[in-house]
Amino acid sequence: MTTVVSVHSFRGGTGKSNTTANVAATLAAGGARVAVIDTDVQSPGIHTLFGFDQTVDKTLDDYLWGKIDIAQTAHDVTDRIGNPAGSGQLLLVPGSMAASDIARILRDGYDVVKLNEGFRDLSEQFDLDYLFIDTHPGLNEETMLSITVSDVLLLLLRPDKQDFQGTAVTVDIARRLSVPNLLLVVNKVPSTVDANDLRQQMDVAYGAPTAAVMPLSEELVINASSGLFSVSHPDHPWSQGIRDIAASLQNGSTTG
Amino acid sequence: MTEQDRRRFWRFPMRWKMLTAFTAAFTVVFAFIAIWVVNYSSNLAMKRIVGQLLEITEGAARDIPAKRMGRVAVLPPDADLTENIDYKRIAEDLESVRATNPSIQPYTYGLDDNGELVFLVSNAGFKEPVSKTAPPETVDLMQKGLDGTTFESENTDAFGTWISAYSPIVNSEGDTVAAVGMDYSLAYVQQVQRDARAQVFPVLAVSYVLLILLVLIVSTLLVRPLRRLTVATRRIAAGDYDLDLRDIGPRGRFADEMSDLADSFKVMAEKVAERERALTKEVQRLRVEINATEREETVREIVETDFFADLAAKADDLRAHMHRE
């Protein structure tokens, strides 16, 4: 059965796409069949991490307009992670970067039911172990729908007051929508912050487990958007955080 | 071996640098002083000797009776001098000069019938030509000595190195009957130079040792506070900001630049410590603070929408739909 993982954050700039891509890559490298859907159709971007440029075609937008089947939007990017173990596979459903498509989404919105069916069909047709939904930041109708259909909600936040507050709201909403698993990830944590202390405080504040406290890294910023950092820098503390998140997801899917 | 280790291994400490620089500078200065002192004292000695020699020579020329000298001058070369009272008296006069100044070799000379310069009362043979033993320049100067007092600077002949003075013996008519010559052995001047060196060198040697000791002391005094500051910087690097730098550099009215450095260093350490404390406070201030009222209000706003109510009602169905097999 497919574990649907929504990756969400209250505000933009939490490193959501980067984390999603790297966690998905880690799981695929470990032998899982993984797909990533960029549902942030207003400002897509995850495809650049897999080496696509602005002219990527066969996008989620094409599926939403009924032009093509969802299976046709799935680009196999397994080669980006080298040789995965077993039957590991990594698929990407990119969002369109075309200005006209983005304008149409902003003007007309899209059929959330069709999106939901797309998730399901993709999971079934590719016999996925994990389906990652990279969402638009902030709570709106589309993101709440994504959250609702998820088995796991992966909530990313930065260690600041606004994110602490906004994440608390998102956690409450997820609980009311009976999302089975909640995982928190703090990203861009300055080296001066005591990670264990922060983790304990978050346990108390949110009542949900923190999968990883990931460091603020200059190296990551320099290498951002130019590939999968956890593949190119496996020994970096940030990459360790990614592996921790992947491990949490694997544990969650086996127990839940 | 790291780059720093290598530097430390090959390093040339400050005190050795100071010692080398000062020693080099003072070696040059001392060499000049030594040469100058020796030259000055030997020149001074020479000047005094020359003055003395001229005085003695002129004195002798005045004291030797001109009439008696005139009589000796006209004696034939083969005259029997042993019984000649004039010759004896003049020899005695010369001998008395010699007795008071052992370095002086006095003699008289004049012109013979042929107009040639010959020794009269002297150690040389009576009426022996001067040119036989003396070099031509000396002969010239001795010739001039018949007209007036003449000084001859350093000259060397068969008997040694000398300075000489010549002065005419003039009779009451104003005619020159002969001349007195005096040779002064420069062995004495060389002795003065040796004495001067012997005096100067121990003084310089002692000064040299004192200087090196002084440089060592000064460099040690300079380096010691620097070493203490180095230790202090290592402690700061290790996070120990509670430094006692009072013993670095003199205090009170003797305070100097090193004291200033220690003071500003102390201030710097305090500021760094302060900043670190502030930073630690900032880290501690990273609290997961959530405004409960605001949280509830925002959640209520979302939950109260029709969309949410609809979504929440269908949530389980939607998830089940996702996993339809």
Q: Nearest CB to B318: which of A116, A164, A194?
A: A116
Q: Which distant-in-sequence residues (6+ apart) come within 8 Å of A229 by Cβ?
A: A18, A22, A220, A223, A236, A238, A239
User: Which of B144, B56, B65 has the alpha carbon at shortest distance from B106?
Assistant: B56
CATH code assigned to B66-192: 3.30.450.20
**pLDDT tens digits, one per residue of B165-212:** 999 999 888 889 999 999 988 877 777 778 878 888 888 889 889 988
Q: Is the pLDDT of residue A165 over 50?
A: yes
A99–B contact, CB cutoff 8 A? no
CATH code of the domain containing A204: 3.40.50.300
Percentage above 70 pLDDT, chain B: 94
Q: Which distant-in-sequence residues (6+ apart) come within 8 Å of A4 by Cβ?
A: A119, A123, A130, A131, A133, A149, A150, A151, A152, B322
Cβ <8 Å between B321 and A178:
no
Domain boundaries, chain B: 66-192, 241-279, 292-322
Q: Is the pLDDT of residue A256 over 50?
A: no
Number of domains in chain A: 1
A141–B contact, CB cutoff 8 A? yes
Q: Which of A145-149, B308-312, B316-320 has the lowest mean pLDDT?
A: B316-320
Q: Is A154 within 8 Å of A46 (Cβ atoms)?
A: no
State both tokens at A216.
């603020």
Q: Which distant-in-sequence residues (6+ apart) come within 8 Å of B76 by Cβ?
A: none
β-bridge partners, A37: A93, A133
Q: Is B154 within 8 Å of B163 (Cβ atoms)?
A: yes
Burial A63-73 (b: 16+ CB within 10 A, else e): bbbeeeebeeb
For residue A216, give how far its alpha carbon lies from the nearest alpha carbon of chain B (Å).
14
Residue type, B236: I
Domain that residue A127 falls in:
3-250
The CA–CA distances, whole Å, from B313 to A113, A220, B303 equal 15, 42, 12
Residue with tokens 């498509």: A101
Q: Is A137 within 8 Å of A14 (Cβ atoms)?
A: yes
- Which pLDDT score is estimated for A247? 95
**ipTM, interface predicted TM-score of the complex:** 0.86
Q: Nearest CB to A201: which of B287, B311, B315?
A: B287
Question: Within a domain: residue A256?
Answer: no
Quote the radius of gyration of chain A (alpha carbons, Å): 17
Cβ <8 Å between A148 and B319:
yes
Cβ <8 Å between B302 and A123:
no
Residues in chain B closer than 8 A to A35 (CB atoms): none
Q: What is the mean pLDDT of residues B67-92?
A: 90
Residue type, A226: S
Question: Within a domain: residue A63?
Answer: yes
Please give the span between the terminal C-alpha atoms of chain B, in angstroms, as a whole number. Answer: 67
Cβ <8 Å between A139 and B288:
no
Burial (CB count <10 Å: 0-12, 13-18, 19+), residue B129: middle
**pLDDT tens digits, one per residue of B27-37:** 899 889 888 88
**pLDDT tens digits, one per residue of A3-60:** 999 999 999 889 899 999 999 999 999 999 999 999 887 778 888 888 888 788 899 9
Q: Helices H, strands E: what count in chain A?
A: 11, 8
Question: Within a domain: residue A255?
Answer: no
Q: Nearest CB to A165: which of B295, B312, B314?
A: B295
* pTM: predicted TM-score of the whole model, two decimal places: 0.55
Q: What is the mean pLDDT of residues A154-177?
A: 94
Question: Within a domain: residue A142?
Answer: yes
